[in-house]
Amino acid sequence: MATIDYYFSTLSPYAYLAGTRLEAAAARQNVQINYKPMDIVTLYGRTGGALPNERHVSRQEYRLIELERQAKKNGLAINLQPAHWPTNPAPSSYAIIAAQAAGGGDMGALVHGLMRAVWAEERDIAQDEVIKSCLQSAGFDAALADSGLLAGAERYAQNLEDALSAGVFGAPFYITQEGARFWGQDRIEDLEHHLAQ
């Protein structure tokens, strides 16, 4: 089965705005998704990107306009100033890594649930109870939040290195098995068109 490497941060509002459209496209095209949560702050630092609060005020203002516009377009609730953003993305990323290794649940629902917790539900995804709730809601064992932390940390670090080697510079970022790259939640349709050819 063909695969897509999906690079993202659980703190990314644009990854949140992707909803589960990637999963729907992958199902239609019979493609497997490799979920690769990564450290977006370090990625920006190593690829010349600027964090949102370091950008010119006009860029910061437009970012908020675009987030609201895209949320409305995709039928998603969004809080442009969430109470728990930024927060530590590592614990939620480790849970995703553990869940993908364990199987048995809905990965798309887990990933989207964690991001929805940040951007629509005012929940802190660095907290164990929030992570466990998202795991359970997606059909996974909540105990995954407490297991494989070392392996999760190693995979999380490796995902960043893989991303840099593959030319990733933002999130969400999708790379097909043959190396075609697509950046942004607004490129899922283009990604699916590419996969269908």
Nearest residue to 38 via CA among 81, 79, 94, 78: 94
- 77 contacts 101 by C-beta, under 8 angstroms: no
Which residue intervals of the chain are DSSP H helices? 13-17, 21-28, 40-47, 57-73, 90-102, 107-119, 128-137, 149-166, 188-196
The pLDDT tens digits for 169-188 are 999 999 999 999 999 999 99
Distance CA 50, CA 177 (A): 29
- 57 contacts 106 by C-beta, under 8 angstroms: no
Distance CA 70, CA 53 (A): 20
Alpha-carbon dihedral angle through residues 109, 122, 186, 195, given to the nearest 10 degrees: -20
Provide the whole-model pTM: 0.97
Alpha-carbon dihedral angle through residues 24, 160, 172, 11, given to the nearest 10 degrees: 100
5: left (phi over 0), alpha (psi -120 to 50) or beta: beta
Q: With bands split at pLDDT 50, 70 and 90, how would you rate the model's confidence at 79?
A: very high
Share above pLDDT 90 across residues of the chain, in percent, rounded to a whole number: 97
- 112 contacts 20 by C-beta, under 8 angstroms: yes
What local confidence, expressed as pLDDT, does residue 149 receive?
A: 87
Q: Cβ of 154: how many Cβ atoms within 10 Å?
A: 13
The CA-based angle 145-149-153, given to 5 degrees, is: 120
What local confidence, expressed as pLDDT, does residue 148 receive?
A: 82
Domains of the chain: 2-196 (3.40.30.10)
Q: With bands split at pLDDT 50, 70 and 90, how would you rate the model's confidence at 168?
A: very high
